[in-house]
Structure formats: C-alpha cells, structure tokens
Structure 1
Amino acid sequence: MAENNDMIYALTIAGFDGSAGAGFISDIKTMAHFGVYGQAVCTALTEQNEDEFVAPGWVIWERIEAQLETLFRKHTFKYVKIGLVEKAKILKRIVEFVREKSPDAFIVWDPIASASAGFHFMRDAAEFLPVMKMIDLVTPNADEYKFLGLEAAHEKGIIQMGKDCAVLLKGGHAEGAESVDKLIVDGTEYNFASPRLPGDGKHGTGCVLSSAILANVALGKPLPEACKIAKDYMNQYLQSGEGRLGFVR
C-alpha cells in the first residue's frame, strides 16, 4: 500500500512514561501539535510519574530492533528523534539502523543524563561522543553538555561541533535572568533567549523541545528557524497551568 502523501511522518525512539509528560508519548503529542504524525519505538518501560522515577525498565536491543524493523517496513522515516537509551552501544545500533534504512534522515538526539526526579543514566558518557558524528543535532542541557565532555572533546578534535553534528546547548539549567539556548551549526552560532520563569519547571521539557525542533524541520523549516519556533513553543509550555505537567492547546 502507498503512503498517505499528505501526511508528514516522524519517528521517536524513546522511553515510555506513564504520566505522558516525557518520553515518546510526550514526543507524539508535541509532533501532533505541529501537524506531524509521530510513530514510536520503545527503548525503556519506565516506572515513573511527573514527580517520581522508580526504575528504567530497559528494553533489550533485539526488541528495539524488532520494533524498528516493523515500522520501517511500512515507512521510510526521514525525521527521527532519539531520547532515552541505556548505553552508547544501543545508541550506535539505533543510529546505524536508521542510516541503513534512511541514509538522509535528519536525526536529533536528546541526551538524557538524569531524570528530573534524580535517577542517573549514561554512565559510559565518553563512549557516546563518536556516535554523535552520525547524528545531525544533539540537544544537551548544561549538565549533559558537561557530563558528555563536549567542550573538551571539541578542543581535542574528537568532535567538531557544528560540523560533525549541530549542537543546541539549552539554557534552562543555567543561571541569569534569561534562558538562552545556543545553537552551533555550520560554523555559525545562534542564540535564542526567553525570560527565565520562576518555579520548579515542567516535567519532560527536553523531550518537548527536541520533538518540536524535529517537527518543524519535518515541515521544511531551516534548523535555526525550527529551534526558534521550538523555543517559543517551550515558553508557552512552561506557562501552561500549574503543576509539573504541561499542555499547549
């Protein structure tokens, strides 16, 4: 059967979060807001709510691969977002699979070093760096940027930020009156600023932002414009009602 040519498809490869505030449920909601149809592969059956993280519930590679195979039999995904992964080896296998099936796919990786409730991931941080050369955009916050050693890796020539892959350094965990996201792509730096909002913030902001970027790239927006639109959307999301769950109508 032929694909619906009017539908723009994107794929999220991420964890399940029963609260729907993060993970692939949140990704699909965000994509749908922008008119992109998201499909999903599950990497972790987490036990969590918006305030508490209990266990990651990792899905083994063979099950991830089986999910990928099934979806790629129907669609050739040109826009792919990767979220929570157990280790660098799994990320590498996912990226290699996507590149084999869809060589020109635009791939975004949102590196999750820890859950907002405090659970820590990515203990093999340095092993992720070589994989990033196969990825189009990486979206770390300040803690993840430091944890992955991106600045030192750039200085040592291990990875050329903006050339090997674009990097969006998120400003939500930094200090100052403004939250400034810094995009480095093709030798150019772009800054996207918004007022820093009071309070503890929302659950799953990294998932929402990276999915909003991917959706707008899928809609044909240049990467800097997609990041700006996503930043504006995030500002709405952060102000969407009380509590740690956000929803933009």
Structure 2
Amino acid sequence: MNNMICALTIAGFDGSAGAGFISDIKTMSHFGVYGQAVCTALTEQNEDEFVAPGWVIWERIEAQLETLFRKHTFKYVKIGLVEKAKILKRVVEFVREKSPDAFIVWDPIASASAGFHFMRDADDFLPIMKMIDLVTPNADEYKFLGLEQAQEKGLIQMGKDCSVLLKGGHTTDVEAIDTLLHEGKEYKFESPRLPGAGKHGTGCVLSSAILANVALGKTLPEACKIGKDYMNEFLKSGEGRLGFVY
C-alpha cells in the first residue's frame, strides 16, 4: 500500500450502508482514496428507521485505533458519530499524538435523519473544535453547538481557530448554499435545491468527499467545491433514500 493514499474514518456502523463508516469508505473509494475505519457505534438502523445507537466504549475504540496506527500514520482523518464530547476529545487527542499534522474533519451529528437525537452535551464540544481542522455542521447543528454565540463571545474564531463549512441543505431557501469560513475568508458554494435532499447519509458523504480531495492535494475551498458537486450527483442518484454515484 506504499503508493496508495489512505484515510481513516472514525464513525458508526450503519447496516444500510447509507451513512456511517461504510458510506465514508464508499465515498473515499470513488475518489481513489483507500479508506480504513474505526467503529464508534454498532447502530441498529435502516435508511428510514433508527432504533438504537449501540455505543462502543472508549477502550474498544482506543484498541481499534492502536491497532491501525501501528501499521499506518494517517494524515487524513474524518470523525463522525460519537457518543459525547469526552469521546471526541479522546479521539482527537489520540490522533494528534500519533499524527500531529493530520488533517481532521468532524461531521457533528446532532440527530439521525430518522429522528434520534445525539450530542446532548453541546457546550463541551466547543474547546475541542480548536484541535480540529474542519467542522461541517448543518443549520440545526450549527445552532445546537452555539457557534454564532461562541464567535460573538470570542470563545472561538471560526475560520481561524477552526474552519467551518455551514451546510445549506437543510434550509428552506431556493438555493442550497454552503458557506466555508477558512483562514479569515468566506467562500460560498451554491447549487439549485434538488428533490433528493431527503437522501440518507448526506453529511457523511459530503465530509468524506472533502477529506478525500484534501488527501489528493486539493486546497480546502477546492475540496469543498468538488464535494458539493459530488453531493449533487448523489442527491440525483435514483429514487428512495439511498444514493450511490458510480
């Protein structure tokens, strides 16, 4: 695997393969990046129904990380579903210790599309964001994490302490506009709102597409634009809530 670009996803298992680390690996593979995975939750779900999160305890997450990092030094890491801020902090600290320069993306999942709610300790996540390169919340997650208030109070400088991609897919605007705050600049990525916006796992797909393209040497704004275009193809891929781009 010396000539292969590898990335790591630390996320939940979704048996429908529409979200979680299976979806992440499929997306990375589409772009020619080899994805490996650490499981944070053995969820019970399909694309329409979320039954239980099935959280994996930290000791098992750590053991998975230790095993993979003995073989590889991951420079590109995506984090998805985590039980609480304490777990996220331990994961990020582990990655930073093993691979200090790793590019880390966190897709904060406040609730499953089927209605199950996570991240009840929202305030505790803010300090951890300063150790992360990119956070990709949708409008509800942005509000839930209190990012606007945190910026106003000086608790975090979005685009400087941490780049933030605010996704517009869950708003009611005619256009789906994603806004990237990065290195003191603002970038807008616009597209028509598509009828497939109800697809399962869109956050996983977008964040993984961005990470894969950063791994391929794209700048973050370039990677976000490519990820946005890929997401549009995903949303148009057939009927039902599962999407797939060939």
Please give the range of the TM-score, normalised by the shorter of the 2 chains.
Answer: over 0.9
Matching of residues 93-172 of structure 1 within 5 Å = 93-172=90-169
Measure, in 2, the Cα distance between the counterparts of 1:5 and 1:169: 35
What CA deviation, in whole Å up to 9, does each residue of 1:37-90 have, x standing for no partner? 000000000000000000000000000000000000000000000000000000
1:52 aligns with 2:80: no
Aligned length: 246
**Residue 26 of structure 1 aligns with which residue?**
23
Matching of residues 33-112 of structure 1 within 5 Å = 33-112=30-109
1:218 aligns with 2:229: no
**Residue 181 of structure 2 aligns with which residue?**
184
Measure, in 2, the Cα distance between the counterparts of 1:115 and 1:70: 29
Superposition misfits of 4+ residues, deviation over 4 angstroms: none
Measure, in 2, the Cα distance between the counterparts of 1:161 and 1:213: 18
Q: Assess, with a 3 A threshold, how the Cα gap between structure 1 residues 103 and 243 changes in structure 2: closer, same or farther.
A: same
**Residue 6 of structure 1 aligns with which residue?**
3
SS at match of 1:18: coil
Match of 1:230 among 214, 220, 227: 227
Measure, in 2, the Cα distance between the counterparts of 1:179 and 1:224: 17
What CA deviation, in whole Å up to 9, does each residue of 1:115-173 have, x standing for no partner? 00000000000000000000000000000000000000011011110011000000001
Please, what is the CA RMSD of the aligned residues?
0.6
- TM-score normalised per structure 1: 0.98
Per the TM alignment, residue 198 of structure 1 is displaced from its structure 2 partner at its CA by 2.3
Per the TM alignment, residue 5 of structure 1 is displaced from its structure 2 partner at its CA by 2.4
Q: Which amino acid aligns with 2:71?
A: K
Measure, in 2, the Cα distance between the counterparts of 1:226 and 1:96: 25
Q: Which amino acid aligns with 1:174?
A: T
Measure, in 2, the Cα distance between the counterparts of 1:57 and 1:98: 23
- TM-score normalised per structure 2: 0.99
Query: Kindly, what percent of the aligned residue pairs are identical?
Result: 87
SS at match of 1:167: strand
- Gap runs ≥5 in structure 2: none
Per the TM alignment, residue 182 of structure 1 is displaced from its structure 2 partner at its CA by 0.2
Measure, in 1, the Cα distance between the counterparts of 2:83 and 2:147: 19
Per the TM alignment, residue 197 of structure 1 is displaced from its structure 2 partner at its CA by 1.2
